[in-house]
């Protein structure tokens, strides 16, 4: 571009380079805190929740690298686009965005791909990207209030959707940010102000595209009422959703259970209750610790919890209260010939966990009684957590 400038490179980047020689660990801690605070949203199975990135987050970023907004703004004010009122992308004037872009360049110039990808992922979840895009794409009837609709959409997506392939929000966005970084690494090295504007626009466009595609399916289901509302006359028990009031109650049950599970504390007394002559309490505890401490399992844990709650509450004779003993009885009663896909999904996930996290199970599962005992123990534990978390 004829009027291009290199203000970010010449004014801000030398400061970043100097600071990061001693502040790299602080920056990583900043990212870690950001992820920890949003763990449930980031590892959810779809874009259910709006994810805020506020002034506190931005302040933590600037503090972590010891570069304040004034220093960043000074560099941006020297760019060719600063005085263009309607310049697009407007987030090329955003201090945290430009600071993170400079941090990504720092890692690229150090040939540190892993940390460059981490910084790019943080950028993707910063204020002008995923949070603002999600807000814009779901202006009404946001998915957090109508989870049953988004659940229907996510279950029926084809494999062409990145969310379907990657399974969690953070994995989906990481795939996008990694590809973006790989595609434009050369431009980070040249790093003119025009390059920066182009790069942030490209990342924004890519994230917007995947969320827009989901939003299109979501509002189609919302308008057409494609999701199935359960009532006492429903003759299709394997595909159901409850009426709004019951669905809201179920979502509250789920939230309380997930909060207890994500405390990462395994309740030994429940392991003991879930154990049997074939599966000792210590072994139940070891398997559950492996499952719950693996950050990649959070999506499947939530599916198991949700399916347990919804299948019980949709039963015609259900009390619709998981704190009732009937919930435990229903959940652990064998259903060997069921065609209910929600119950079959629970079994599929639990068997996958056992194959992954228990070498003893792998050696013993050929005996049907033993295989069933392991599955029952894991399911019973989660049922107990749901039950007690909602008392």
- Domain spans of the chain? 7-146+160-207, 244-389
- Whether the full predicted model's pTM is greater than 0.85, yes or no, is no
- What is the pLDDT at residue 243? 63
Gap between the Cα atoms of 103 and 27, Å rounded = 9
What six digits make up the tokens of 148?
A: 């049953």
- What is the pLDDT at residue 235? 33
For residue 167, which phi and psi values (nearest 5 degrees)? 80, -25
Closest by alpha carbon to 190, among 109, 267, 307? 109
- Residues in contact with 160: Cβ distance below 8 Å, sequence separation at least 6, in sequence order: none
Neighbours of 177 (CB within 10 A): 26
Gap between the Cα atoms of 146 and 166, Å rounded = 22
For residue 47, which phi and psi values (nearest 5 degrees)? -80, 65
38-55: burial string, b at 16+ Cβ within 10 Å, e else: beebbbbbbbbbebebee
To 10 degrees, the CA torsion angle through 173, 179, 180, 184?
160
Gap between the Cα atoms of 347 and 353, Å rounded = 10
- Residues in contact with 21: Cβ distance below 8 Å, sequence separation at least 6, in sequence order: none
- What is the pLDDT at residue 230? 36
Gap between the Cα atoms of 195 and 131, Å rounded = 23
What DSSP character marks residue 229? P
What DSSP character marks residue 12? I
Give yes or no for a contact between 215 and 168, defined as CB atoms under 8 angstroms apart.
no
What six digits make up the tokens of 85?
A: 């009122």
Query: Is the bond leading into 257 cis (omega within 30 degrees of zero)?
Result: no
Residues of the chain with pLDDT under 50: 1, 228-240
Closest by alpha carbon to 48, among 192, 147, 166? 147
Residue 318, Ramachandran bin (φ over 0: left; ψ between -120 and 50: alpha; else beta)? beta
Neighbours of 236 (CB within 10 A): 8
- What is the pLDDT at residue 226? 60
What six digits make up the tokens of 364?
A: 């013993």
């Amino acid at each position: 571009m004829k009027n291009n400038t290199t203000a970010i490179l010449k004014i801000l980047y030398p400061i970043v380079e100097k600071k990061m020689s001693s502040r790299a660990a602080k920056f990583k801690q900043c990212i870690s805190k950001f992820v920890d605070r949003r763990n449930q949203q980031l590892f959810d199975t779809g874009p259910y929740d709006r994810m805020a990135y506020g002034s506190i987050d931005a302040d933590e970023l600037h503090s972590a690298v010891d570069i304040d907004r004034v220093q960043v703004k000074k560099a941006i004010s020297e760019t060719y686009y600063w005085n263009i009122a309607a310049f697009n992308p407007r987030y090329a004037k955003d201090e945290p965005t430009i600071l993170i872009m400079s941090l990504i360049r720092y890692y690229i110039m150090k040939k540190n791909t892993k940390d460059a990808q981490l910084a790019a992922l943080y950028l993707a979840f910063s204020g002008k990207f995923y949070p603002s895009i999600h807000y814009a794409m779901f202006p009404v009837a946001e998915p957090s209030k109508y989870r049953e609709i988004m659940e229907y959409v996510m279950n029926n997506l084809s494999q062409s959707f990145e969310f379907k392939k990657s399974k969690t929000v953070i994995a989906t966005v990481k795939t996008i940010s990694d590809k973006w970084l790989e595609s434009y690494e050369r431009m980070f090295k040249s790093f003119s102000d025009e390059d920066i504007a182009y790069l942030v626009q490209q990342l924004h466009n890519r994230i917007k595209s995947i969320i827009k595609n989901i939003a299109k399916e979501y509002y189609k289901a919302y308008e057409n009422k494609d999701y199935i509302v359960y009532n006492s006359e429903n003759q299709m028990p394997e595909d159901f959703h409850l009426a709004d009031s019951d669905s809201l109650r179920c979502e509250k049950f789920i939230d309380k259970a997930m909060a207890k599970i994500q405390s990462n504390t395994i309740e030994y007394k429940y392991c003991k209750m879930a154990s049997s002559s074939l599966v000792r309490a210590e072994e139940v505890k070891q398997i559950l610790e492996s499952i719950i401490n693996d950050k990649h399992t959070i999506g499947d844990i939530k599916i198991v919890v949700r399916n347990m709650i919804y299948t019980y509450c949709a039963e015609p004779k259900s009390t619709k209260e998981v704190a009732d003993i009937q919930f435990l009885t229903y959940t652990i009663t064998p259903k060997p010939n069921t065609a209910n896909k929600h119950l079959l999904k629970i079994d599929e996930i639990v068997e996958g966990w056992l194959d992954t996290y228990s070498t003893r199970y792998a050696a013993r599962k050929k005996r049907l009684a033993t295989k069933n005992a392991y599955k029952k123990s894991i399911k019973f534990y989660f049922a107990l957590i749901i039950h007690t978390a909602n008392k």
